[in-house]
Amino acid sequence: MEEQIKKLKTGTTTVGIVCKDGIVLAAEKKATLGYLVASKDDIKIVEVMPHIGMTQAGSVGDIQALVRYLKAEATLYELRENKRISVNAAASLLANIMYGGRWYPYLVQVILAGVDERGPQLFILHPDGSKLEEKKFFSTGSGSPMAFGVLELLYKDGITIEEAKQIAVKAVKAAVERDIASGGKGIDVAVIDKNGFKLLSQEEVQKILKN
């Protein structure tokens, strides 16, 4: 198990920030295969449901499988219960899936976040199936130490989505500049608010970078 967890130290930087009016997720775009750059345009933020998104760090195959499982189970839940799945329930569902494979774990670290009746929520999930709620921000991947430095410096209580987008981009940019395994063609940013999940265009991200 310990050796499998060590494999999680792969090239990625993802960031999640809790705002008073929603959630901001950000990630760089490089996918690595050992010392090979497998992709410079990998999207590491996915929409799980219209009000829930998640970031990926670790094995791409494992995260893709988890997204498929989670989307299917969340859709079945909503059809059965005739109501939208809560962010907490989706996180618990994903934690149970990961816990079920703990002896042959999914080699990922996930930020799952969204907005529902409880407001903005952000959870961190680990290969052993543990689920932790974070009230402010979190970062995963090899570039996370650099990203955390920016987040710790700039985050403040009551932050808005517009302010958080600036901080998230700065945090990922700092990681890209110092972590050799992070990079790619730009930065992805997603916003989740009362209107749902939205992945910003690269033109919108470039405007944020220029500010």
Write down the H helix ranges in 82-109. 87-100
pLDDT at residue number 206: 87
Among residues 135, 116, 104, 126, the alpha carbon closest in space to that of 57 is found at 126
| Contact in structure between 6 and 133 (CB atoms under 8 Å) | no
Collapse the DSSP code of 62 into the 3-class scheme (helix H, G, I; strand E, B; otherwise coil) and give the result. helix
Closest CA to 123 of 28, 197, 47, 55: 55
CA-nearest of 147, 156, 161, 148 to 190 is 161
d(CA 172, CA 135): 20
Range of the domain at 116: 2-210
Tokens of 68: 């498929």
Helix (H, G, I), strand (E, B) or coil at 202: helix
DSSP state of 44: -
**In Å, what is the CA distance from 32 to each residue of 135, 174, 180, 189?**
30, 19, 10, 20
Q: Name the residues annotated as catalytic.
A: 12
pLDDT at res. 164:
97
Determine the pLDDT at residue 1: 43
pLDDT, one tens digit for every residue, the chain (211 residues) = 444 444 444 568 899 999 999 999 999 886 666 666 666 667 889 999 999 999 988 777 888 899 999 999 999 999 999 999 999 999 999 999 999 888 888 888 899 999 999 999 999 999 899 999 999 999 998 888 999 999 999 999 999 999 999 999 999 999 888 765 565 567 999 999 999 999 999 889 888 888 7
Instruction: Say which residues have a Cβ less than 8 Å from residue 44's Cβ, sequence separation at least 6.
Output: 12, 14, 27, 28, 29, 55, 56, 57, 188
Looking at residue 86, what DSSP letter applies?
Answer: P
CATH number of the domain encompassing residue 131: 3.60.20.10
Number of independent structural domains in the chain: 1
Instruction: Please check whether residue 186 is in contact with residue 44, taking contact to mean a CB–CB distance below 8 angstroms.
Output: no
Query: Rg (Cα) of the chain, in Å, rounded?
Result: 16
